């Protein structure tokens, strides 16, 4: 048996028991809310966990890029929602190849996007399902009003090879209630106009405890919940003990009494702050602060620590944002009770297009 502390650093540790507990908890919440769970694989990027999510009751998975969809389809996942506008003939050809072998649906928020899809997908006997993405407060993609959503839904339905699949949104943390209200009003409009609304899909880990607040959502797409991270703890969605992903790092320098330098920098923790102070939570030294990152160095203020780390010590860091961390590593280490179970390739890492 190899204990995690013997691994070369920096590296990523995944506590399997914690990840399993997080997966089970979300599925229970979805079951209790009477809502389908469609986890976003952007966080783990691993076929192993995608399959596990489906085994536990998820109706399918969510992916953000065609490259991720291709990896997951190759791995045997058969029901994918690609929550991204697919623009351009090269990407539509890749989408068509996927549509020919798995169930895949996409989103659109403009006539341009829908018309492009309509050009590529023409088979009325094998339609492509298209959701209308709605901007319910995030300020990113999405139509701006329920009336616009209705108009775009009609445009989708008018295309012989496309099928209107429903409404999709991604509410930013704290925007969940506003988003639910937006969707309730949209549903009322569709109902009043006699336009069938097959599904309303929403998501976001921080609001998971209120999955179906407005009673209209049919599907939820959380991502980060599998690993959790410092931003989720700050949002009250998890405790540090729930966090399944840690970055293992070594103290490589102690230049002053109050300063420790570790071999985890922005190339392992990313520069994501998500509104937080500092760059992560050090499990073994909760009174320390990761005050700065270079690419390969982390600067840790240990002046408040009663016992201070020594050169050569290994520490575990709960990052601010776990999702982009897994994207920086070719492999992650599955751990159970502190021992290495398996090192697995991050199959969908770097699939940016």
Contacting positions for a copy of itself (CB under 8 A): 8-11, 42, 64-65, 84-85, 87-88, 90-91, 109-110, 112-113, 116, 135, 139-144, 250-256, 259, 261, 263, 266-268, 270-273, 292, 294-297, 299, 310-312, 323-324, 327-330, 350, 352-353
Q: Between residues 133 and 219, which has the closer beta carbon with respect to a copy of itself?
A: 133
Smallest distance, a copy of itself to C-beta of residue 221, A: 14
Smallest distance, a copy of itself to C-beta of residue 261, A: 5
Q: Between residues 199 and 314, which has the closer beta carbon with respect to a copy of itself?
A: 314
Q: Between residues 28 and 353, which has the closer beta carbon with respect to a copy of itself?
A: 353
SS3 per-residue string spanning the chain = CCEHHHCCCCEEEEEHHHHHHHHHHHHHHHHHHCCEECCECCCCCCHHHHHHHHHCCCCCEEECCHHHHHHHHHCCCCEEEEEEECCCHHHHHHHHHHHCCCEEEEEECCHHHHHHHHHHCCCCCCCEEEEEEECCCCCCCCECCHHHHHHHHHHHHHCCCEEEEEEECCCCCCCHHHHHHHHHHHHHHHHHHCCCCCCEEEECHHHHHHCCCCCCCCEEECCHHHCCCHHHHHCCCCCHHHCCEEEEEEEEEEEECCEEEECCCHHHHCCCCCCCCCCCEECCCCCCEEEEECCCCEEEECCCCCCCCCCCCEEEEECCCHHHHHCCCCEEEEEECCEEEEEEECCCCCCCC
Q: Between residues 211 and 323, which has the closer beta carbon with respect to a copy of itself?
A: 323
Smallest distance, a copy of itself to C-beta of residue 122, A: 20
Smallest distance, a copy of itself to C-beta of residue 297, A: 6
Radius of gyration of the chain (CA): 22
Smallest distance, a copy of itself to C-beta of residue 28, A: 27
Q: Between residues 139 and 194, which has the closer beta carbon with respect to a copy of itself?
A: 139
Smallest distance, a copy of itself to C-beta of residue 299, A: 6
Q: Between residues 241 and 330, which has the closer beta carbon with respect to a copy of itself?
A: 330
Smallest distance, a copy of itself to C-beta of residue 90, A: 5
Q: Between residues 87 and 209, which has the closer beta carbon with respect to a copy of itself?
A: 87
């Amino acid at each position: 048996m190899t204990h995690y502390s013997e691994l070369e650093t920096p590296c990523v540790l995944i506590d399997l028991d914690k990840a399993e507990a997080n997966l089970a908890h979300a599925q229970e919440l979805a079951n209790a809310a009477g809502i389908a769970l469609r986890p976003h694989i952007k966080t783990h990027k691993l076929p192993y966990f995608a399959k596990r999510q489906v085994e536990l009751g998820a109706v399918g998975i969510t992916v953000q890029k065609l490259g991720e969809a291709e990896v997951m389809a190759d791995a045997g996942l058969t029901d994918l929602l690609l929550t991204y506008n697919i623009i351009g003939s090269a990407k539509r050809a890749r989408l068509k190849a996927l549509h020919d072998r798995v169930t895949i649906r996409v989103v659109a928020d403009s006539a341009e996007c829908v018309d492009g899809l309509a050009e590529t997908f023409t088979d009325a006997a094998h339609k492509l399902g298209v959701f209308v993405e709605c901007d319910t407060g995030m300020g990113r993609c999405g139509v701006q009003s329920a009336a616009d959503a209705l108009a775009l839904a009609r445009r989708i339905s008018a295309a012989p090879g496309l099928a209107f699949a429903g409404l999709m949104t991604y509410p930013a943390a704290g925007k969940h209630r506003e988003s639910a209200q937006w969707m309730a009003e949209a549903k009322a409009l569709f109902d009043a106009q006699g336009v069938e609304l097959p599904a309303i899909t929403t998501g976001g880990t921080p609001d998971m405890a209120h999955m179906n607040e407005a009673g209209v959502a049919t599907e939820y797409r959380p991502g980060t919940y599998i690993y959790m991270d410092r931003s989720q703890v700050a949002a009250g969605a998890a405790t540090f003990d729930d966090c399944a992903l840690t970055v293992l790092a070594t103290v490589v320098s102690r230049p002053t009494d109050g300063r420790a330098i570790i071999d985890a920098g922005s190339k392992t923790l990313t520069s994501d702050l998500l509104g937080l102070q500092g760059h992560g939570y050090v499990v073994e030294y909760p009174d320390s602060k990761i005050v700065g990152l270079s690419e390969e160095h982390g600067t840790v203020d240990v002046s408040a620590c009663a016992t201070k780390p020594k050169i050569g010590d290994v520490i575990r860091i709960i990052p601010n944002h776990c999702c982009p961390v897994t994207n920086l590593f070719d492999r992650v280490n599955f751990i159970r009770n502190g021992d290495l179970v398996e090192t697995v390739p991050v199959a969908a890492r770097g699939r940016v297009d």
